[in-house]
Structure 1
Amino acid sequence: MDTKKPYLAIILIQSIYAGMFLLSKAAFDGGMNSFVFVFYRQAAATIFLVPLALFVEWKSLPPLSFVTFCKVFLLSLFGITLSLDINGVALVYTSATLGAATTNCLPVITFFLALLLGMEALRLKTSAGIAKLTGILTCMAGVLTLAFFKGPHFKLFCLHHSHTADTAAASSSLTWVKGCFLMLTSVTFWALWLVLQGPVLKSYPSKLLFTALQCFLTSFQSFGIAIALVRDPYEWRLGWNVRLVAVAYCGVVVTGVTYYLQSWVIEKKGPVFLAMSTPLNLVFTMLCSAFLLCEFTSLGSVVGGLLLIIGLYSVLWGKTKEQRLLNEKCVSTGVNKQGTELTVVTT
């Protein structure tokens, strides 16, 4: 059973993320403003995480300098607040399936940004470097396919009739393309957040407090954006409906449960194992959005999603192969050093 726990954990993680896309889309289709939703989501996450972080890590609380605080503030603004706000607008324009599909770009875009910042290397004379370059190009082809090619639409068995499918079918091609590129922009901000976290965590190593501080800051940032753009008091109402469920689910379950589960999986199996489970999110979201939200599934979404998955695995394979070769080189170097020292002592 212990060997199966990581596999059960990644299935649960991707199921939670699929539920996030579905509930967010359902709330937006129900009339909830996306900017208000992001504020409530981050406020719920703050209420959940801040007391937990202070209780767990209060004794080991590291000092927070003004420079580090400014870095965390900017990291929260671009990596979380703007990323979530843009993602919400894109989800209104497109579908939950597209939102799940573009998450497969995240490891590829993260690697590309790390490459531009000099944190990664691309050696085109090796098979690993060629695989990573092929993965980047395939991922770009997948994004273009999602944006510009729809093809015939398929409708699976639906539990109830919803106006979501009618709205999606009637949406203009320009709106869909705009939503695709907004979604890609959101994932790019998310990837930039992942790349720049490392240097900030060196000066503030407490991960749980670091996450709680970001949730606290994004609550104020998203509130400022929402209050500037949404003046109608009715749009701020939650009520006992899908809006409240979506806010509570995204704020508590997604932020709280998946944070712990992802850390546990990375500790047991490593980050590559977790990244390779990302396509499960697309499969779960595509099936559930067809059954529950009655969304149409287009041929372009299927083909684009497959290209994104192929690009993801190509980059991950190249990265894993490079890491394996590096480990073997380190082991070989260590053996040679030990042999040299032994020879000297014998002499």
Structure 2
Amino acid sequence: MKDMKVYAVAFLIRFIYAVMQILTKAAFDGGMSTYVYVFYRQLIGTLSVAPLALLLERERAPQLSVKVCFKIFLLALVGFVIFLNTFSIGLDYTTTTSAAAMINSVPVVTFVFAVLFRLETIKIKRLQGLAKVAGLALCLGGILTMAFYKGPQLKSFNHHHFLGLGSSHTDGARSHSTKRWALGTLLMTISTTAMSLWMVLQGYVLMEYPAKLLFTTHQCLCSTIQSFFIALAFERDFSRWKLGFNMNLLSVAYGGIVATAATYYLQSWTIEKKGPVFCAMTSPITLIIQIICSSFLLGEMINLGSILSGVFMVGGLYCVLWGKSREEKDRKMQIRENEEACLEEKEAPIPA
């Protein structure tokens, strides 16, 4: 029964992410500025997380030093501002299916950075090491497939766009040229790289400042300020800053409150119960939900290239995760054998 609860929460997290990308894509197709979207999303996310963080962690949180503040500022720039801006533009230039497929490469790229920072190892001569290398190759193959092969379009389940997008967005001016598609793929690759680097680096900062909720709040606040100046530089038409009671408001509110504040807690709870590997293994669920929902809600035409790239990336993800899990099992077995050997030595009779 406890496992079913964890599985349900893991599915809910992936569903939240899938809906977020669909709402965001709908807002972009409706003409919302990607830079303004990121600013409002981070602003709402900060206002959502801050009260909870102050309530739960203010009294027992360590004092912030200038050094830690600077590190948090840089982390916010990499993991929030660069990630969200490049991912949002990439999503605007491609499709939600492509974005969901690309997200599956985050655990694999994170593993690459972990190797570079000597937090992980690859033993080529062992099966586990070969699985990791195969996973990296499949992930790279998925990125290249997405960038250079669109393939034929698969038939959409729905041609009436429930989220209010006109046909001009999907068939005319918003159609994805090869150049636009390749640029979108490049930007999403940069975004996943930024996210992966952020996931590795934040571990070092959390050792100095372990108050997780306040740590997230400080990052959200820094990213809000950074995003404001970026939006101000790139979006001078202030009429595009207005949020009415429309898809724009819904997308930023959902992204800030549900996808930022609520999902952070749910993800932390899932990792605590089942570990980070389990959490990463559920990420392909987002791709499946994305394909179904984007076709029904957006009337989005799905390219064969997006499906193939998703298959490659999911395959690469599971290869890396399998290699890591096997290494972890071997490590635990080795520790157990060493402990048993030490115990036998202690219990052995002392020769006269």
Shift in alpha-carbon separation, 1:85–1:9, aligned structure 2, 3 A = same
Q: How does 1:166-181 map to 2 (within 5 A)?
A: 166-167=171-172, 170-181=175-186
Judge conservation of contact 1:26–1:242 (CA < 8 Å) in 2. yes
SS at match of 1:118: coil
- Structure 1 distance, partners of 2:170, 2:287, is 18
Question: Taking every aligned residue pair, what percent have the same amino acid on both sides?
Answer: 45
**Shift of the alpha carbon at 1:346?**
9.3
**Shift of the alpha carbon at 1:295?**
0.7
* CA deviation vs aligned residue, 1:9-49 (integer Å, no higher than 9, x gap): 11100000001110110111111100000000000001011
Does residue 58 of structure 2 align to residue 58 of structure 1?
yes
- Larger CA deviation: 196-205 vs 162-171: 162-171
**Shift of the alpha carbon at 1:268?**
1.3
Read off the aligned partner of 1:237 and give its amino acid letter.
K
- Structure 1 distance, partners of 2:269, 2:120, is 25
Read off the aligned partner of 2:293 and give its amino acid letter.
C
Read off the aligned partner of 1:37 and give its amino acid letter.
Y
Segments of structure 2 that go 5 or more residues without pairing to the other structure are none
Shift in alpha-carbon separation, 1:117–1:175, aligned structure 2, 3 A = same
Read off the aligned partner of 1:85 and give its amino acid letter.
N
Alignment counterpart, residue 257 of structure 2, candidates 252, 260, 263? 252
Does residue 32 of structure 2 align to residue 39 of structure 1?
no
- Structure 1 distance, partners of 2:176, 2:129, is 40
Read off the aligned partner of 2:209 and give its amino acid letter.
Y
SS at match of 2:244: coil
Judge conservation of contact 1:155–1:294 (CA < 8 Å) in 2. no
In structure 2, the residue matched to 1:336 is: 341
Does residue 295 of structure 2 align to residue 290 of structure 1?
yes
* CA deviation vs aligned residue, 1:245-273 (integer Å, no higher than 9, x gap): 00110000011221111111111111111
**Shift of the alpha carbon at 1:159?**
5.8
Judge conservation of contact 1:168–1:296 (CA < 8 Å) in 2. no
**Shift of the alpha carbon at 1:3?**
2.5
In structure 1, the residue matched to 2:149 is: 149
In structure 1, the residue matched to 2:84 is: 84
Judge conservation of contact 1:158–1:291 (CA < 8 Å) in 2. yes
- Structure 1 distance, partners of 2:65, 2:78, is 20
- Larger CA deviation: 336-345 vs 88-97: 336-345
Q: If the length of structure 1 is used for normalisation, what is the TM-score?
A: 0.97
Segments of structure 1 that go 5 or more residues without pairing to the other structure are none
Shift in alpha-carbon separation, 1:65–1:272, aligned structure 2, 3 A = same
Q: How does 1:115-130 map to 2 (within 5 A)?
A: 115-130=115-130
In structure 2, the residue matched to 1:199 is: 204
In structure 1, the residue matched to 2:191 is: 186
Shift in alpha-carbon separation, 1:135–1:64, aligned structure 2, 3 A = same
Read off the aligned partner of 1:60 and give its amino acid letter.
R
In structure 1, the residue matched to 2:105 is: 105
- Structure 2 distance, partners of 1:48, 1:151, is 42
Shift in alpha-carbon separation, 1:345–1:218, aligned structure 2, 3 A = farther
Judge conservation of contact 1:169–1:296 (CA < 8 Å) in 2. no
Q: If the length of structure 2 is used for normalisation, what is the TM-score?
A: 0.96
In structure 2, the residue matched to 1:69 is: 69
- Structure 2 distance, partners of 1:216, 1:300, is 38
**Shift of the alpha carbon at 1:97?**
1.0
In structure 1, the residue matched to 2:17 is: 17
- Structure 2 distance, partners of 1:3, 1:132, is 28
Q: How does 1:265-284 map to 2 (within 5 A)?
A: 265-284=270-289
- Structure 2 distance, partners of 1:73, 1:346, is 64
- Structure 1 distance, partners of 2:156, 2:28, is 22
Read off the aligned partner of 1:201 and give its amino acid letter.
L
* CA deviation vs aligned residue, 1:278-315 (integer Å, no higher than 9, x gap): 10000101111111111101111111110111000000
Runs of 4+ in 1 over 6 A off after TM superposition: 344-347
Judge conservation of contact 1:147–1:181 (CA < 8 Å) in 2. yes
- What's the RMSD between the two structures over aligned residues? 1.4
- Larger CA deviation: 334-343 vs 120-129: 334-343
- Structure 2 distance, partners of 1:247, 1:104, is 23
Alignment counterpart, residue 230 of structure 1, candidates 202, 226, 235? 235
Read off the aligned partner of 1:316 and give its amino acid letter.
L
